[in-house]
Chain A
Amino acid sequence: MGYPQYMRDFIAKVEATRPRRLQETFPMLTAQEKQALLEKFHPDYIREAMRELRVGPNKGTRTPHELADLLEARPLLDPRAVNLDNVDYETDVLIIGGGGAGSAAAIKAREAGAKVIMATKLRHGDANTMMAQGGIQAADKENDSPAIHYLDVMGGGGFTNDPDLVEALVKDAPLVIQWLESLGCMFDKQPDGTLITIHGGGTSRKRMHSARDYSGAEIMRTLRDEVRSWPEDIQVIEFAPAVELLMDTNGRVAGAVLMNLETNEYLVVKAKCTIIATGGSGRLHYQNYPTTNHYGATGDGLVMAYRVGARLAFIDTMQYHPTGAAFPEQIVGLLVTEKVRGLGAQVVNIDGEQFVFPRETRDAESAAIIRECVERGKGITTPSGIQGVWLDSPMIEIIHGPGTVQRELPAMVRQFGRFGIDITKDPMLVYPTLHYQNGGIAIKPDCTTDIPGLYVAGEASGGVHGRNRLMGNSLLDVCVFGRRAGITVGQHFREVTLGKLTLSHLDRWEQELKDAGLDPKVRAPILLPDYTRRKGV
């Protein structure tokens, strides 16, 4: 294993230019250059990859076919198979999803006195939060401020973000770091306690906090352990995804129908407040891209919320992470953290030359790599026929001293080491990979939605990141809005009296499909992707 000889020959070119490149800074894109690059090479701008939705609150909005197919689908649930008079669980708060946002919400809702049920598709903590490597942003240094963070976020999102949500994000950020520390998160620090912070793509201050390159794992396992401290107040039901939201006769969301994944039995959960924290949809493989996402990232929350009439925002934009692994074949599409570039590694082509500033925002960095391979033909082709460019990780050892890569990027060293590649000595081959759902269910800063009783937090929500999220703002998002959702339902649940449970919105949905002349064969949510060989993946 390791690199074949012909790839080693290309690596020799990277090594030859390295001493010179260490002295060079590739210029950043101007606003005009960036826009032109995005329009020509970013996957969001490929018109035939999307279509206008034909039903629902976002009728007329463009979205990728893969998501449109699910949003226009028939329900997975057969309403006749459920008896709503037979309630299996009754609770103050139902949280759908057991990742970072759901866990943060559970902790805060419990603090406010609510009884909580958390239903999760796989295990508690099986989520994209666990996989985030690079870090979490917060403006807590002397030369930084929430306002400067705000400016970076708005610019990163193409000035399309919801300003109120961004304000909440940047103002809560230092509070979140303090909160996580109080729960026992181990962030990287200097001996005097100063938090170690570095740059990420699109940051104007070094405000990326990390926990080695297990930042998300450290946050997720800490939040999960805290949830597990309160079993009398927070009941976690694993391997039981929600398949449909329940409404009451007053038009309020009133819980959900869960499905036991092993027995296929339905469970009726009646709840005064329901939080969707189901995360993203990378496993839909938009435009056939590989993904960094968790196995369960199939957009279930969007599908369920859409059917009860919740409006979606920014669903025509997905994030393609610039550096997915392109070699070896076994890990194609998996994340190579942006922290590698944050520590100084450059991106170089087949000639060993730079072609883009290493810390452009992710949309632009990805578009530049696609251009280099597709238009300029300067990519390196792997034995299985995939294109990629080099990410020159050995530079980090020269800039920051030997041992830095092992200390700062142990997960990456391990990931590539399993396949005979030593990233302290050799560069990694990378290509953009599907990483994040920029949009989602529209929320207000308190995580309420257009529909009473329905709250949303984390990647399932839309608006805070506009058309492009910055590195380190996703771990921040799940903590900020997870906490806010928990706090909000903590204020609301006592005032709620539910009417009779109903699934009549499914009849209305069926009628709407009929009126639009649609007769979809797809049933959604799909819950899990199907990679069995018969399906040809």
Chain B
Amino acid sequence: MADQELIPIYIMNKQYLVPPTLTIMKALEYAGYKLIRGVGCRAGFCGACATVYRTAGDYRLKIGLACATMVEPEMYLAQIPFFPAPRGQYHLEELKPDMSALLKTYPEVLRCLSCGTCTKVCPQDIDVKDYMAEAMRGNIAGVADKSFDCIMCGLCAARCPAEEKQYQIAILCRRLYGKYLAPRAEHLHKRVQEIMDGKHDAELIRFKTMSKDELKKAYYERDIEPE
């Protein structure tokens, strides 16, 4: 690619020329960085590559996942290493799925100012302020549902003026919901009991002891549950 097609970006305040079609992550690599920190799944699921940047002529601090955000001319980049926001110490079975769990584990939850900085900064477009409001009301199910797409990158906690650890509160609520509040799957518990009682062993052994040809026949003749 000819030089005139490249655009200038600034990594840690040093200029590099990179193709404009790259994501921030690929631009870092194009510039010669072999990444160790700030890289993970490279597909938007793991939250390792939270990046803050500014663009020319704009006073605002911007954010994005390096793996999913494209470079822009005159972009000033800094990757933040994982933000220290310690997990509260708890064992799930010792907690109740209500406000008491949050107050015991993250008492600072009530310091939330509802300023909305967390919502603005979330690369998943989660309304973090909204689920924090649910948390302050002790609505565990509400937090669990509204925070579900969280990838725990930590940007909300990094920017929070009230020193909240929103994403840690969110996973606690999701686990409390999953364990205590979600409706019970009776068919699952029935099947587990059947397996423990050995009720499925005979049918399994029948397939296990078939010859390869018999097994193939059974496979290609098996009925398929309709849509």
For the complex, what is the distance from the CA of A30 to the CA of B216, rounded to whole Å? 12
Chain B residues within 8 Å of A131, by CB = 41, 43, 45-46
Of residues 72 to 127 in A, which have CB atoms within 8 Å of B's CB atoms?
Answer: 122-123, 125-126
| Per-residue contact bits, chain A 336-360, to B (CB 8 Å; 1 contact, 0 not) | 0000000010000000000000000
B204: which of A146, A174, A231, A537 is its contact (CB, 8 Å)?
Answer: A146
Question: Nearest Cβ distance between residue A326 and chain B, in whole angstroms?
Answer: 15
Question: Nearest Cβ distance between residue A106 and chain B, in whole angstroms?
Answer: 15
B43: which of A125, A138, A292 is its contact (CB, 8 Å)?
Answer: A292
Whether the pair B148, A186 counts as a contact (CB closer than 8 A) is yes
Chain B residues within 8 Å of A295, by CB = 35, 39-42
Whether the pair A150, B185 counts as a contact (CB closer than 8 A) is no
Binds B, one of A48-56, A410-418, A451-459, A479-487: A410-418
Contact flag A174-B222 (CB < 8 Å), given A130-B46, A181-B182, A195-B188:
no
A228 interface contact, C-beta 8 A:
yes
Chain A residues within 8 Å of B14, by CB = none
Contact flag A532-B152 (CB < 8 Å), given A155-B219, A184-B175:
no
For the complex, what is the distance from the CA of A34 to the CA of B33, rounded to whole Å? 44
B145 nearest in chain A by CB position: A186
A150 nearest in chain B by CB position: B207
For the complex, what is the distance from the CA of A329 to the CA of B96, rounded to whole Å? 47
- Interface size classification for chain A: 35 or more
B21 interface contact, C-beta 8 A:
yes
Whether the pair A533, B148 counts as a contact (CB closer than 8 A) is no
Whether the pair B148, A214 counts as a contact (CB closer than 8 A) is yes
B82 interface contact, C-beta 8 A:
yes
Binds A, one of B22-30, B130-138, B156-164: B22-30
A287 interface contact, C-beta 8 A:
no
For the complex, what is the distance from the CA of A217 to the CA of B152, rounded to whole Å? 10
| Per-residue contact bits, chain A 164-190, to B (CB 8 Å; 1 contact, 0 not) | 000100110011011001111111011
B208 interface contact, C-beta 8 A:
yes
For the complex, what is the distance from the CA of A79 to the CA of B132, rounded to whole Å? 53
For the complex, what is the distance from the CA of A115 to the CA of B93, rounded to whole Å? 21
Chain B residues within 8 Å of A497, by CB = none
B151 nearest in chain A by CB position: A217
Question: Nearest Cβ distance between residue B12 and chain A, in whole angstroms?
Answer: 16
A174: which of B177, B182, B192 is its contact (CB, 8 Å)?
Answer: B192
CB < 8 Å A-B pair total: 225
Question: Nearest Cβ distance between residue A486 and chain B, in whole angstroms?
Answer: 18
B2 interface contact, C-beta 8 A:
no
Question: Nearest Cβ distance between residue A341 and chain B, in whole angstroms?
Answer: 12
For the complex, what is the distance from the CA of A8 to the CA of B216, rounded to whole Å? 44
For the complex, what is the distance from the CA of A530 to the CA of B172, rounded to whole Å? 37
A534 interface contact, C-beta 8 A:
yes
Of residues 204 to 225 in B, which have CB atoms within 8 Å of A's CB atoms?
Answer: 204, 206-208, 212, 215-216, 218-220, 222-225
Whether the pair B224, A204 counts as a contact (CB closer than 8 A) is yes
B171 interface contact, C-beta 8 A:
yes
Chain B residues within 8 Å of A177, by CB = 185, 188
Whether the pair A140, B191 counts as a contact (CB closer than 8 A) is yes
Question: Nearest Cβ distance between residue B95 and chain A, in whole angstroms?
Answer: 10
B40 nearest in chain A by CB position: A126
- Interface size classification for chain B: 35 or more
Whether the pair A146, B195 counts as a contact (CB closer than 8 A) is yes
For the complex, what is the distance from the CA of A39 to the CA of B107, rounded to whole Å? 62
Contact flag A186-B219 (CB < 8 Å), given A125-B46, A146-B195, A295-B41:
no
B207: which of A147, A211, A329, A537 is its contact (CB, 8 Å)?
Answer: A147
Whether the pair A191, B183 counts as a contact (CB closer than 8 A) is yes
For the complex, what is the distance from the CA of A379 to the CA of B71, rounded to whole Å? 30
Question: Nearest Cβ distance between residue A363 and chain B, in whole angstroms?
Answer: 15
A31 interface contact, C-beta 8 A:
yes
For the complex, what is the distance from the CA of A187 to the CA of B183, rounded to whole Å? 11
Whether the pair B204, A189 counts as a contact (CB closer than 8 A) is no
Whether the pair B191, A139 counts as a contact (CB closer than 8 A) is yes
For the complex, what is the distance from the CA of A331 to the CA of B200, rounded to whole Å? 44
Whether the pair B41, A130 counts as a contact (CB closer than 8 A) is yes
Whether the pair A411, B29 counts as a contact (CB closer than 8 A) is no
B198 nearest in chain A by CB position: A171
Question: Nearest Cβ distance between residue A234 and chain B, in whole angstroms?
Answer: 13
B60 interface contact, C-beta 8 A:
no
Chain B residues within 8 Å of A130, by CB = 40-41, 45-46
B200 nearest in chain A by CB position: A146
For the complex, what is the distance from the CA of A194 to the CA of B189, rounded to whole Å? 11
Whether the pair A222, B33 counts as a contact (CB closer than 8 A) is no
Central interface residue in A138, A532, A537, by most chain B CB within 10 Å: A532
For the complex, what is the distance from the CA of A184 to the CA of B143, rounded to whole Å? 14
Chain B residues within 8 Å of A185, by CB = 178
Whether the pair A204, B222 counts as a contact (CB closer than 8 A) is yes
Whether the pair B185, A189 counts as a contact (CB closer than 8 A) is yes
Chain B residues within 8 Å of A414, by CB = 44, 124-125, 149
Whether the pair B182, A221 counts as a contact (CB closer than 8 A) is no
For the complex, what is the distance from the CA of A295 to the CA of B40, rounded to whole Å? 6
A225 interface contact, C-beta 8 A:
yes
B104 interface contact, C-beta 8 A:
no
A145 interface contact, C-beta 8 A:
yes
For the complex, what is the distance from the CA of A532 to the CA of B203, rounded to whole Å? 54
Chain B residues within 8 Å of A139, by CB = 191
Whether the pair A532, B207 counts as a contact (CB closer than 8 A) is no
For the complex, what is the distance from the CA of A106 to the CA of B190, rounded to whole Å? 28
Of residues 6 to 39 in B, which have CB atoms within 8 Å of A's CB atoms?
Answer: 21-23, 26, 29-37, 39
* Ranked 9 nearest A-B pairs via Cβ: A184-B175, A193-B183, A155-B219, A184-B178, A147-B203, A184-B179, A186-B178, A140-B191, A531-B29
Binding site for A on B (CB under 8 A): 21-23, 26, 29-37, 39-46, 48, 68-70, 82, 87, 89-92, 124-125, 144, 148-149, 151-152, 171-172, 174-179, 182-189, 191-192, 195, 200, 203-204, 206-208, 212, 215-216, 218-220, 222-225, 227
Q: List 23 A-B contacts (CB under 8 A).
A: A130-B46, A131-B41, A140-B192, A141-B191, A151-B219, A159-B215, A171-B200, A181-B185, A183-B178, A184-B174, A184-B177, A190-B183, A193-B185, A195-B188, A204-B225, A212-B148, A214-B45, A222-B171, A295-B41, A334-B42, A335-B43, A531-B29, A533-B31
Q: Could you list 14 further interchain pairs (A-B, Cβ under 8 angstroms) beyond the known A147-B207, A204-B225, A225-B172?
A: A141-B191, A155-B219, A181-B179, A182-B179, A183-B92, A184-B174, A193-B182, A221-B152, A225-B175, A295-B35, A331-B68, A414-B149, A418-B44, A531-B34
